Structure 1
Amino acid sequence: MNIHDPAAELRANVATPFEAAQAMPVSVYTSEEFLALEQEHVFAKSWLCAGRADALKAPGDYLTMEIAGEPVIVLRDREGTLRAMSNVCRHRMSILLEGRGNVRTITCPYHAWTYSLDGSLRGAPAMEMNRSFCKSQTSLPAVRCVDWKGWIMLTLDPDLPEPQETLREMDDLVGYLPMQDYVEVFREEHRWNTNWKILAENFMESYHLPMCHGGTIGGAVDLKKMTCPEGYPGFNFHHILKDDSIALSIAHKDNTALAGEDRYRTWLISVYPSLMITLTPGYFWYLSLTPDGPGHVKIIYGGGLHPDFAADAEAEQHFETLKGLLDHVNDEDKGCTERVWKGMQSRHAVPGALSHLERPNYEFATWIAGKIPS
């Protein structure tokens, strides 16, 4: 094995059975070359999340993001259909839209070429003297976009099976909670000084909760009672039973559909490569990750309410309390994951043995290794 080849190091790493497994090699986090492979073979060939579909309610509502460096617009067209398309003008290749907002048409800020909400070219000033120009044959290239259980999912891969196929086991696991009906209450964007995989792994395991979250939720966790089942090809998961000490974490008092432990169960679901969902009978929150170089990650951070609580007159007050807790937990995770990234720069940084509570991390490493060609 070439020790300077992060992909080879990773394949050797996951060839070890889980019972004797080590954390991923440092090189797969720090290498620019390995990140380029991830962009080409992971992010450009997977379903990625742009957030919740109810973030785009009205015709012309849009948001922007990048997939493997490709600028993309996601919007509601005039008929209410969810669409995604290239965010690059067909004239001189300017970026068209930035951030989020609402538009009647998409107008290039460089030369005022204008596109309809379906991506077709609507107007191009002073182009009538160029014989090669044909307005009817000029439009923004479409990007595959689907609404999967209320999540906006995008991919650059024209042949990738639909999320309902690649994530079909999700229905058996959490189908009793109607994710598509949960109502988003907040959406924020952050950038942290850590590698995207460090943050993904941090979400996947609850081994860190007692220490990293000692000031918030860590005291409610008993590691001896925690298990991490084997995951599925497209995602891993574990769950925790909670009481009513955290606002909205259990089923609404008027909910008659949920019974027994399902009224108290919190799911932590990691959809490969980069959508992390915490799903409870009362609320949800999520992270959607985009690498920004080896040492930074862009994060969509959002959350909201089960429909029972969304209709409750006191829900807003309860959610304010919950949002304060989630923000605090997020700040604790930021500190922990940024310290891991800093530690990886050390000449003494060597991956250690994994706990039985870090099975999802091993499965994540195995999934990535399977995507990177040898």
Structure 2
Amino acid sequence: MTIHDPAAELRANVATPFEAARAMPISVYTSETFLALEQEHVFAKSWLCAGRADALKAPGDYLTMEIAGEPIIVLRDRQGTLRAMSNVCRHRMSILLEGRGTVRTIICPYHAWTYNLDGSLRGAPAMELNESFCKEASGLPAIRCVDWKGWIMVTLDPDLPEPGETLREMDDLVGYLPMQDYVEVFREEHRWNTNWKILAENFMESYHLPMCHGGTIGGAVDLKKMTCPEGFPGFNFHHILKDDSVALSIAHRDNTTLEGDDRYRTWLISVYPSLMITLTPGYFWYLCLTPDGPGHVKILYGGGLHPDFASDPEAPAHFEALKTLLDAVNDEDRGCTERVWKGMQARHAKPGALSHLERPNYEFARWIAGRMPG
């Protein structure tokens, strides 16, 4: 019987130069063993996005997430500081909070142990007779959390360099667009029947646009005019120029800062491993991906407006039309990526050669391979 080593198969795959590259091996998507390696060596050792910082506006506003199976709370404390901490009670290990909301204190739903917004233990009923109990030593463990350009970034790795260091090239690339000032308008959660990398790769390349998005945006795409530059160690990217057919795609009419093509340029940025950003002079939308077994992915899907449009009284009507388009495009992507997952289960499935327009996929594969042990 042949025993497959998905990590070894991936290393062999990316050892081929890009000019002769093929898609990643099927085992990299379908193997439970490889997913376990990803959780340990990719997700547990990376900065992951929990959404936009302006989603947590007031003290006590919180959201929850998981990193490699680790439950986490992200919130604003009473001083307005962004914090992340364990979402597991220090008593009998119940999950504390779920979803999103606002709290004055964090109260365990099991035995009512109560925590302050800084994670310190505030009260524990009926514990006065236990001599081993120490209130000061029973706070929720802190987890690293930073606001990077308006994105909430969280990591389990205490030694990982800050996002501003690992993604420093972003300033030269898109620094003229103030990501930190864009205003979130919607935030949703979805779950698709595909591998997380299939969806990530789908975002990274626009080769699929004419066919997959034939019912929406595909007709405006000319593959002959498309290029995919080399990416950077922490992210890959490509960009396209849009016309004014979507009102929010281009710079606001009153914007005097942006000039030339920068008024029309849309950036598609993939921050490794799992933050996908579409950034335009008028709006942005994003995906944050969390694997849920080899064959499912949890998706945080959100978007919003450039500050010029956020204050424009006509913007809500334009954004309503834009959101309808984004949802339709997302539905098309779901169909395409779920068909890829289904096709991978076939006995005749075999990775094919990559187009020159799929350079980001190759770079993504090399990045993942570089984090595998062995």
Aligning the two structures, in what range does the TM-score lie when normalised by the shorter sequence?
A: over 0.9
1:279 partnered with 2:279: yes
Structure 2 partner of 1:17: 17
SS in 1 for 2:187: strand
Counterpart contact for 1:247–1:321, Cα < 8 Å:
no
Structure 1 partner of 2:144: 144
- Once residues 137 and 347 of structure 2 are traced to their aligned partners in structure 1, the CA distance between those partners, rounded to angstroms, is 56
Q: Which amino acid aligns with 1:62?
A: Y
SS in 2 for 1:371: coil
SS in 1 for 2:142: coil
Structure 1 partner of 2:352: 352
Structure 2 partner of 1:88: 88
Structure 2 partner of 1:186: 186
Counterpart contact for 1:23–1:353, Cα < 8 Å:
yes
Structure 2 partner of 1:330: 330
CA RMSD between the two structures: 0.6
Which structure 1 segments of 5+ residues have no match? none
SS in 2 for 1:341: helix
- Once residues 321 and 95 of structure 1 are traced to their aligned partners in structure 2, the CA distance between those partners, rounded to angstroms, is 39
SS in 1 for 2:145: strand
- Once residues 89 and 261 of structure 1 are traced to their aligned partners in structure 2, the CA distance between those partners, rounded to angstroms, is 52
1:54 partnered with 2:54: yes
* Residue pairs, 1:129-168, within 5 angstroms: 129-168=129-168
Q: Report the TM-score when normalising by structure 2.
A: 0.99
Over residues 6-65 of structure 1, what are the superposed CA-to-partner deviations in whole Å (9 max), with x where a residue is unaligned?
A: 000000000000000000000000000000000000000000000000000010000001
SS in 1 for 2:147: strand
Q: How far 1:3 moved relative to its partner? A: 5.9
Structure 1 partner of 2:363: 363
- Once residues 107 and 122 of structure 1 are traced to their aligned partners in structure 2, the CA distance between those partners, rounded to angstroms, is 10
Q: Report the TM-score when normalising by structure 1.
A: 0.99
Q: Which amino acid aligns with 1:296?
A: H
* Residue pairs, 1:305-316, within 5 angstroms: 305-316=305-316
Which structure 2 segments of 5+ residues have no match? none
- Once residues 37 and 137 of structure 1 are traced to their aligned partners in structure 2, the CA distance between those partners, rounded to angstroms, is 33
Structure 2 partner of 1:128: 128
* Residue pairs, 1:247-258, within 5 angstroms: 247-258=247-258
Q: Which amino acid aligns with 2:220?
A: A
Q: Which amino acid aligns with 1:195?
A: N
Counterpart contact for 1:3–1:9, Cα < 8 Å:
no
Structure 2 partner of 1:339: 339
Give the length in aligned residue pairs.
373
Counterpart contact for 1:228–1:358, Cα < 8 Å:
yes
Over residues 114-167 of structure 1, what are the superposed CA-to-partner deviations in whole Å (9 max), with x where a residue is unaligned?
A: 000000000000000000001122100000000000000000000000000000
Counterpart contact for 1:144–1:156, Cα < 8 Å:
yes
Identity %: 89
- Once residues 3 and 302 of structure 1 are traced to their aligned partners in structure 2, the CA distance between those partners, rounded to angstroms, is 41
Over residues 157-216 of structure 1, what are the superposed CA-to-partner deviations in whole Å (9 max), with x where a residue is unaligned?
A: 000000000000000000000000000000000000000000000000000000000000
- Once residues 230 and 56 of structure 1 are traced to their aligned partners in structure 2, the CA distance between those partners, rounded to angstroms, is 35
SS in 1 for 2:237: strand
Greater than 4 Å deviation, 4+ residue runs: none
Counterpart contact for 1:52–1:150, Cα < 8 Å:
yes
Structure 2 partner of 1:72: 72
- Once residues 136 and 36 of structure 2 are traced to their aligned partners in structure 1, the CA distance between those partners, rounded to angstroms, is 36
- Once residues 315 and 83 of structure 1 are traced to their aligned partners in structure 2, the CA distance between those partners, rounded to angstroms, is 32
1:175 partnered with 2:184: no
